[in-house]
Amino acid sequence: GAVVSQHPSWVICKSGTSVKIECRSLDFQATTMFWYRQFPKQSLMLMATSNEGSKATYEQGVEKDKFLINHASLTLSTLTVTSAHPEDSSFYICSARVLAGGTKQSHEQFFGPGTRLTVL
């Protein structure tokens, strides 16, 4: 249980294009989903927190107009990198927190496999 999927697993795009990354919780409902980015040999940096049906909360320094987050349902969140540039190339990882009251601890976060974005 507690499987989170991401699609696509890797994407290469031209500078100026937009890229959408999907994050799905496959076998549980997630109250909250998180989006992280990770640069090579560095730790995960939280970009934003999204709750189903409400606007995402962005971390300081993260441009909300550039990284659009939509949390359409309790099992799906999307991150759109708009007008991507080479400096946006990174490993993007989502995680999902379990809906409280289930069999899993409500504070545990389960991570997707990540999406590697390369902007040329």
Interface residues with other proteins (CB under 8 A)? 2, 4, 6, 32, 34, 41-44, 46, 49, 91, 93, 95, 97, 105, 107-114, 116
Grouping H, G, I as helix, E, B as strand and the rest as coil, residue 88 is helix
Residue 84 corresponds to which tokens in the numbers above?
């991507």
Q: Are 32 and 51 in contact (CB under 8 A)?
A: yes
Please report how close the Cβ of residue 20 comes to other proteins at its closest, in angstroms: 18
CA 9 to chain centre: 12
Q: Are 34 and 46 in contact (CB under 8 A)?
A: yes
Please report how close the Cβ of residue 84 comes to other proteins at its closest, in angstroms: 20
Specify the residue, 51 or 82, whose C-beta has the smaller distance to other proteins.
Answer: 51
Specify the residue, 82 or 104, whose C-beta has the smaller distance to other proteins.
Answer: 104
